[in-house]
A and B are shown apart, each in its own frame.
Chain A
Amino acid sequence: MNQVDPNSTTAFLPILMMLIVAIGFAVFTLVASHFLGTRVNDPAKLSPYECGITPTGSARERFHTRFYLVAMLFIVFDIETVFLYPWAIVFKQLRIFGLIEMAVFVGILLLGLVYVWGKGALEWD
């Protein structure tokens, strides 16, 4: 018996090792290239790239609210997805009961999707 129980915390230990190795790799390459590369600075080179034309204004501009709208819709539907996972795991025990329960839950969210669709929140023009 030398298998690690997939339900135990020990099963995550190799992932932690992978995380440490990956961080080490990323830090090593970034630091190494930082010191290996030559460096010749001048103000034009350090200015933001705008196809060779002198940059106008700041990049910290306001951007369109549509991006916020997508983010908000995402949160609503992503929470739905998060609820679907534990439901799917125990679905074979719940059977018809689970089906009806989830149909009500997803049905309400689908109504929401139809509503935002009708309101034009999904249009991008």
Chain B
Amino acid sequence: MDAAFLIESAVKVLIVLGFVLLGVPLIVWMERKVIGHMQDRIGPQRVGPFGLLQTIADGIKLFFKEDLIPGQADRVVFFLAPALSVITAFVALSVVPFGDKVTVFGRDVPLHVADVNVAILWVLGTTSMGVYGIVLGGWASNSKYPLLGGLRSSAQMISYELAQGISLVSVILMTGTLSLAGIVAQQEHMWFIVPQFFAFVIFLLCGIAETNRAPFDLPEAETELVAGFHTEYSSMKFALYFLAEYANMMVVSAVAISVFFGGWRGPFLPPVAWFLIKLSLFLFFFVWLRATFPRLRYDQLMAFGWKVLLPASLLNLAVTAIVVALTG
């Protein structure tokens, strides 16, 4: 470790932070525009070219909104919960490799904030910490809709976490490493989507449920729970929850890309460009799903997690283990 390593890391931390803070408004704009067109509307178009600055304007507006704290709320937890949500999302992104090594001032700089040997465990661990942000926010509001939203959310997220964790184990059986950089390195000749297609499908479905996106957006089902766990939240606290949701979409997409789609690998274009293209396609898919599917009923949601995805991920694991044990 030397001073150059510290400077290099600090720069990468700020790049990732800036990428998320600039990327999220862009994703929100893309979502509104795409959903608009899918519903035969035109979406935002007034602020800036093609309405691009709409989300930035919304963000600035939220900064100056009244920061309302309900009278009966647990004030400390009410502050802590949205911060927890957004911090876990940022920290999870720090192990994702977003490009090959580049040489800056004669120094090889690997394009990820940190390469740790337990990267996948780190992502799973931090994203499951995100559940606390939601359940504590729902509880601290001391109001009925947020409480129900928070409870539903925690039950949903822990149920889908199981199948998500097990679907990743079948890939690790093939790689023998938990490092995301190591997994990307092993996909030089074949992306893991080919041998592990079912694991990918299970991982993606669980990822959508983990980020509370449609059609699994039960925790914030507008038609029955107002806004779910963030009903009582306003101003930047609400914005932080919003930011966390989209940052978590980035985390799920980035992990899916690194584990199943060869990470930053691709022909002709520079690695970072490939990573961004794949990331955009995933985020578009999230939006497309929201425009296409109606919301599930809660009993269907829990039954799907426990009775379909969990056995399916175990079956996939068993088949992978047998094949790997026999062929090496």
Binding site for B on A (CB under 8 A): 2-4, 6-7, 10-15, 17-19, 21-23, 25-27, 29-30, 32-34, 36-40, 43, 45-51, 55, 58-61, 63, 66-67, 70-71, 73-74, 77-78, 81, 84-85, 88-92, 95-96, 98-99, 102-103, 106, 110, 113, 117, 122-125
Q: Is B145 an interface residue (CB 8 A)?
A: yes
Known A-B contacts A51-B226, A59-B143; the reply to A4 vs B1 at CB < 8 A is: yes
Q: Are A122 and B307 in contact (CB under 8 A)?
A: yes
Q: Chain A residues near B183 (CB, 8 Å)?
A: none
Known A-B contacts A4-B115, A92-B176; the reply to A81 vs B162 at CB < 8 A is: yes
In the complex, given contacts A18-B16, A33-B64, what are 12 additional A-B residue pairs having Cβ atoms less than 8 angstroms apart?
A3-B108, A6-B181, A14-B94, A14-B114, A18-B13, A23-B83, A30-B236, A38-B66, A48-B70, A88-B173, A113-B310, A122-B302
Interface of B is mostly: helix
* Interface CB pairs A-B, < 8 A, 8: A2-B5, A38-B64, A38-B66, A45-B68, A46-B69, A59-B142, A63-B151, A122-B307
Q: Chain B residues near A58 (CB, 8 Å)?
A: 142
Distance from B237 Cβ to chain A, minimum over Cβ atoms (Å): 7
Count of B residues near A, CB < 8 Å?
Answer: 94
Q: Are B235 and A37 in contact (CB under 8 A)?
A: yes
Q: Residue on B with the closest CB to A57?
A: B144
Distance from A100 Cβ to chain B, minimum over Cβ atoms (Å): 9
Q: Are A33 and B322 in contact (CB under 8 A)?
A: no
Q: Is B269 an interface residue (CB 8 A)?
A: no
Choose the segment among B40-48, B153-161, B281-289 that binds chain A (4+ C-beta atoms closer than 8 Å): B153-161
Q: Are A99 and B328 in contact (CB under 8 A)?
A: no
Q: Chain B residues near A122 (CB, 8 Å)?
A: 302-303, 306-307
Task: State in angstroms the CA–CA spacing of A7 and B170 once bound together.
Answer: 23
Task: State in angstroms the CA–CA spacing of A122 and B298 once bound together.
Answer: 12
Q: Chain A residues near B10 (CB, 8 Å)?
A: 17
Binding site for A on B (CB under 8 A): 1-2, 4-6, 9-10, 12-14, 16-17, 62-72, 79, 82-83, 86-87, 90-91, 93-95, 107-108, 110, 113-117, 121-122, 141-148, 151, 154-155, 158-159, 161-162, 165-166, 169-170, 172-173, 176-179, 181-182, 226, 231-232, 235-237, 239-240, 298-299, 302-303, 306-307, 310-311, 314, 317-318, 321-322, 324-325, 328
Which of A26, A34, A47, A117 has the most chain B CB within a 10 Å cutoff?
A26
